[in-house]
Chains A and B, each alone.
Chain A
Amino acid sequence: MKSSLSASKSVAKSATPSPALTSVAKSAHSPTRHPTTEHTIMHPRHSLLATTAALLLGLALAVPPAPARNVDLSTVPRRDTVQLTIYNSEDLTLVRETRTLTFKKGINGLQFSWANTLIDPSSVELRFLTKADKLDLLDTTFPHDKPQMLAWNVVSDLDGDATVEITYFTSGITWSADYVLTSDAAERNLSVEGHIRVTNNSGEDYENAQVRLVVGTINLVEKIARLARVGMDKVREMPSEERQVLRRGVAKAAMAPMMNAVAMEVDEMDVGGMRERKQIIKEGLSEYFIFSIPGTETIPHGWSKRLRAIEAAEAPFKVQYRYRPAQYGDQLVRMYLLTNDEASGLGGSPLPDGIVRVFRHNGRDGLSYLAQQTTKYIPIGDKFEISLGPDPEVIFELIKLKAFRDTIWMRLQGADAYRKVDDGAIDIDVNSSVAGWADHELYTQRIRNYTAKPIEVEVRRAFRGHVAFRSALPGIRLFDFQTPEFTTTVAPGQKADHLFEIVRQQGRNARQNNVTLEEAALKMP
């Protein structure tokens, strides 16, 4: 009996999923494990990575000889459903799985283990979805010698089936967004494809899982991956109360009823019986957005899966050239500006942060690669602003034409009197030194446009110190207290000079640290 039961246990553990729920048959008179406990394997899980199985078996064999009272018989109820809610701002996934268990009246032992996965042991919770009035969770035990396992004792008033829900946090499952923007050759419209990519490195295969992705940033006081690597006794030593409150708050929010669900628009295919592309559902929830993938997905450990989440066929966009050294470096860059709104065929949801890749039809039945950059979260109504880098067909030069000084103030520092020895002539020399002045610098911002289209150029340039910015530039304005900016249009094949003068007060003349705009008619010297 002992050897056969041990063997059964070893086999059961080797085939046990990670995590696995094991039903432990108890003796009628003991709420805890008992040497006379009898076990049967009910539902061994059938889809395990061979590597995981081998590791589990190895672990099982490596366990030191156990006392006879620890010989258990286990059943392994399979998962009925599993739902993954993945947060991309943290390495955090809420797993909610349901299983059907058969209870007998009295005390029922349940063992939940998660060998070789990245589950936070402090987050595991058990809930009865059916027959809840006849079932109570009596206690939870974390064995000190098996850090990736816990045991529940459930007291039951029924003989029969009930559905339980187990929730826990795991790390190792992540998702990210990326976008492919392809401009037409004339650069009037963009085709936009937004994708989400789910990567499973959690150590567990999640088959036929409902997948929900949370867009937004949550607060965590500890990393799940760290908690997953320590035993429950260590977890308890951590500042648990605050952590638990936060965790439950997150879980509650993630499991709350869906609100304002909006199905994304995709072009329908009128083809009889063909399998349609999945339409990802987007919904607002508190400060977050949740993208839900309809149906279920299987993402084995180590695999990634990328799905199309956002699509717009002909989104109008704007090309603008920008000189903003603080953002794009000391160069004029070409920008694609696209608004996340209904006019663009977008606007159904915020756009999560991710990588944007930009292509353009080159007019020769092919694509040109333009740029790749990361973008921040884009709320509804805000813009994609994608820098394509400098354009060799637009030359942007700042030429200093002239420099001079005026408004020079001298500081008087007394006088020296001198007398010539031979004739007694007196010379009074007043000591003084320059204490304040104004530097004048005349510039032209020269823009040459060798493209075939008129271009719009925005110039934003900061000046430090007490500065007067003198010009006759139309639409000149202050972006902030030290940054004048103007926007101009340059016709194709044309050169445009934009004259301005900087008058910077220096020394005692400097009374401010800001820029004021002054109207002035300037000429090339």
Chain B
Amino acid sequence: MNSRFALQSTSCLALITALGLLWPAAAPARIKLITLPLRERVEIQLDHPSVTLVEEERIVPLVKTAADDEPNQVDFSWANTAIDPETIVFRVIGPAAGEANAGMQIRVHSVSYPPNEQALVWQVAASKSGAARVRISYVLGNLSKSFNYRAVAAHDEKTLTLAQYMRLQNFANEEFMGSFDADKGANLWAGWGRQFTRPVGLNETKEMLVAKFTDVPVRKTYTCNPATHDYLDRPQNKLRVPMHYVLKNDKASNLGTSPLPYGKVRLFIAPRDPKDATLSSTFLGEDWGAFTPIDDEMRLYLGVAQDIVVKRTIDKSERKRVAGNLYHYEITLKYEIENFKDQPVVLDIQENLRHVRGEIPNLAGSSRDVEWELLPATDLEGGPDKDKTTFDEVLFHVPLPARDKSGKAEKLVRRLHLRFRNEW
């Protein structure tokens, strides 16, 4: 009444046979007659950040196991694959379809692990002879995913179309195709978005469009922040002004269905007339898109703006003694700003106040939190952005007019007037 069935991928079966022939005579013999139940279905679950779970379903013939009988042996082997054997889960879904299998009950008694083999043997009892539907799950290494994006901005750079791709790389030395459904293949799911059914061959890389978001509002920003972006020309006090596309992962932006995973973003800009077939989109560059939770912003670096000039100087620095070695410091930062573009833009002026304090003689080495306040001479438009100003960062949005028709840019002068309190 004892029967044995092997669950093996066809790619590994030949190798197992070869190993058997090569075994030394002293090795324990495992004479077996096996059947090879084929995969009925394969699910590749890619929803875990770092782990790939494979689930495969098979129909296994079992013989009735009377009380005194040894149970059926179901042999599972995985030679030359990176299956984590500790994660293998065997689940009996139930009897296979068909009247002959109706009412069949199945029990898994134990699992045995033969020495020096990538294999295990389940002992399975059945209330009657028939076929059972079983599912085997395991974590498989070298079957990994990554994400990348293609963003095409409209010509006016107000919106973009964001296509999200999942790239599956199969170096697991196992294929998921052919034997169970040649036309379809494995079901692949990233945890959100579209579910795919694709064959996955050995050493194959597949790239699939997970989602496509259209009319995503995008904000093009020009930012100067000496703490992070430094100076473009230090002797002339010219700040570097990087440009970014900023898109918000929320419903209002036609996104916000799930966090956006980390991945490379290739940026293009559409031609002036998208309907003109003679024109094509232009590659603007690429950047790594950080993992972006819902309601957060993804910032994509575009390069340094050449047409916006910002000169920053410390216009005034005074200290006022409170007592003994305790002082307040008053600082005035002056910005001379010119926009040589034909369009008006908004310049983001961001200052890290620890960095500003570090520019003051006597305070360069201080590690205390900055205690600061804005003073009335500050004339940056609109005051600080409350949402993005913290205890040591302040952000202003300064509108810059386009240059005039003669090509001359207006020079704006703005000041940030600060007091650092209780320093010593």
Contact = CB atoms under 8 A, between A and B. Distances in A.
A277 B126 CA distance: 11
Interface residues of A, number: 64
Interface footprint category on B: 35 or more
A51 B27 contact: yes
B326 A392 contact: no
Given A369-B51, A439-B369, A308 B108 contact: yes
Interface string B310-325: 0000000000000111
A408 B25 CA distance: 86
Nearest to A394: B293
B371 interface: yes
Q: Determine chain B's interface SS by DSSP, over half rule.
A: loop
Contacts of A401: 390-391
A178 B86 contact: yes
Contact of B324 (A368, A393, A433, A437): A433
A369 B324 contact: no
Interface in A402-443: 402-405, 408, 410-411, 430-434, 437, 439, 441-442
Interface string A350-376: 000001010100101011111010000
Contacts of B298: none
A391 B55 CA distance: 23
A305 B112 CA distance: 4
B326 A434 contact: yes
- Interface centre among A273, A389, A437, by most chain B C-beta atoms within 10 angstroms, is A273
Contacts of B424: 433-434
B107 A395 contact: no
Nearest to B64: A274
A304 B85 CA distance: 13
B139 interface: yes
B67 A273 contact: yes
B107 A269 contact: yes
A448 B107 contact: no
B259 A369 contact: no
A269 B43 contact: no
B125 A274 contact: yes
B87 interface: yes
Contacts of A203: none
A328 interface: no
A399 interface: yes
- Interface centre among A303, A304, A392, by most chain B C-beta atoms within 10 angstroms, is A392
B115 A368 contact: no
Nearest to A506: B368
Contacts of B47: 362, 368
A256 B390 CA distance: 68
- Interface centre among B86, B89, B391, by most chain A C-beta atoms within 10 angstroms, is B391
A418 to B, nearest CB: 16
A434 B368 CA distance: 14
B19 to A, nearest CB: 16
Given A54-B26, A395-B293, A400-B390, A271 B113 contact: no
A188 to B, nearest CB: 19
Task: Please name the 6 residue pairs, one residue from A and one from B, whose CB atoms are nearest each other, closest first.
Answer: A302-B115, A432-B324, A403-B369, A271-B127, A304-B113, A51-B26
16 contacts: A50-B28, A195-B111, A199-B113, A269-B105, A275-B65, A276-B107, A276-B125, A277-B108, A278-B110, A302-B114, A305-B111, A357-B89, A364-B189, A402-B391, A408-B326, A448-B294
